[in-house]
Amino acid sequence: MRRNEHSFALEAKSASLGKGKAFMGYNQLESVEVSVDGVEHAHQFRIWNTEPSSMFVVVKQTCQILDRLKVGDTMNMTYHTRDAFCPTRTMATRIRHITRENDGPFKGHCLVGLAVADNY
């Protein structure tokens, strides 16, 4: 499966997520993989550092996947950590907002806010 790399942001605190399963914590997350119907390839976005309650990805405004993301939708996303020995974790994630950036460092991109199910 081919992956497209895009910028993305999230800072976090250590947390325990899921049914009693320990999770390394948001500060260990490096990227998230998103697959949607109608888009041939999964997209992998780099995770930046922000609070879990305001986690977001940066997606080019011309990216095919952007047309399939809707505010309020919940979908399974696969999270990867900085530790290659730590397994990936698929978690239900809600799209919180999609904000177009026409100026500044993210000009020509959209900020897509994400919320892991345990945090909304």
Give the span between the Cα atoms of 112 and 58, in whole angstroms: 6
Domain span holding position 44? 4-119
Higher pLDDT, 98 or 82: 98
Structure tokens at 86: 């730590």
**Which tens digit of pLDDT belongs to each residue from 55-85?**
888 999 999 999 999 999 999 999 988 887 8
Give the CB-side neighbour count of residue 118, counting CA atoms within 13 A: 14
CATH number of the domain within which 81 lies: 2.40.10
76-91 burial: b if 16+ Cβ within 10 Å, else e: ebbbbbeeeeeeebeb
Provide the domain count of the chain. Answer: 1
Using CA atoms, how far residue 53 sits from 24, 70, 94, in Å, is: 17, 18, 11
81-90 residue pLDDT tens: 888 788 888 9
Tokens for 108, please give them. 């020509």
Class of residue 40 by CB neighbours under 10 A (exposed 0-12, middle 13-18, buried 19+): exposed
More confident: 63 or 3: 63
pTM passes above 0.85: no
Distance CA 68, CA 65 (A): 5
